[in-house]
């Protein structure tokens, strides 16, 4: 495997984790939002990454390199809304309260979102370390080539 491939794989991993961080931030920002004027309540989102099945390593790398060049975010990942029940809180004085005095908030668990945030951050850092390791190896190879 050449260094460009290693760089591309790490870059793709960082793109996926960046997308996860963006989605988690969006969920946390809307955790206490109420239904809009149309009555639509925010649906929590989640990034779903998937492979195309178990195949040879060379084919997977070739596919990864092709997908990286596509516009519109990392391929093999999609953002989907979660079908969760809204969180109902008894707040009779709230302007968005229903007839029973309950306000519906999105079914977002901030603790769970923070755990996903830590996980995505660690995965991003691992991809950065892999990129730096490949860069260091490439630089060492150049130094060895110069020494001869």
Tens-binned pLDDT, residue by residue, of the chain (148 aa): 678 888 888 888 899 999 999 999 999 999 999 987 788 899 999 988 866 444 555 555 555 555 544 334 566 778 888 889 999 999 999 998 889 999 999 999 999 999 999 999 999 999 999 999 999 998 998 888 887 6
State how many domains the chain has.
Answer: 1
Q: Are 9 and 67 in contact (CB under 8 A)?
A: no
Which pLDDT belongs to residue 62?
56
| Token pair listed for 41 | 């309540």
Give the domain extent around 140.
3-147
- Beta strand extents in 3-145 (DSSP E only): 45-49, 77-81, 87-90, 102-105
Which pLDDT belongs to residue 147?
76
Q: Which residues are CB-neighbours of 50 under 8 A, at least 6 positions away?
A: 76, 77
Which pLDDT belongs to residue 8?
85
| Token pair listed for 56 | 């040879």
Nearest to 17 by CA among 131, 136, 137: 131
């Amino acid at each position: 495997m050449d260094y460009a491939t290693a760089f591309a794989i790490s870059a793709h991993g960082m793109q996926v984790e960046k997308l996860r961080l963006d989605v988690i931030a969006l969920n946390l920002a809307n955790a206490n939002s109420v239904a809009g004027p149309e009555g639509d309540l925010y649906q929590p989102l989640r990034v779903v990454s998937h492979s195309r099945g178990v195949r040879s390593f060379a084919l997977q790398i070739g596919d990864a390199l092709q997908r990286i060049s596509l516009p519109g975010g990392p391929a093999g990942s999609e953002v989907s809304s979660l079908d969760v029940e809204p969180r109902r809180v008894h707040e009779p004085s709230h302007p968005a309260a229903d007839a029973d005095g309950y306000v519906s908030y999105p079914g977002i668990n901030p603790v769970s979102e923070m755990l996903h945030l830590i996980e995505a951050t660690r995965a991003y850092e691992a991809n950065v370390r892999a990129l730096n390791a490949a860069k260091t190896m490439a630089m060492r190879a150049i130094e060895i080539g110069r020494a001869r």
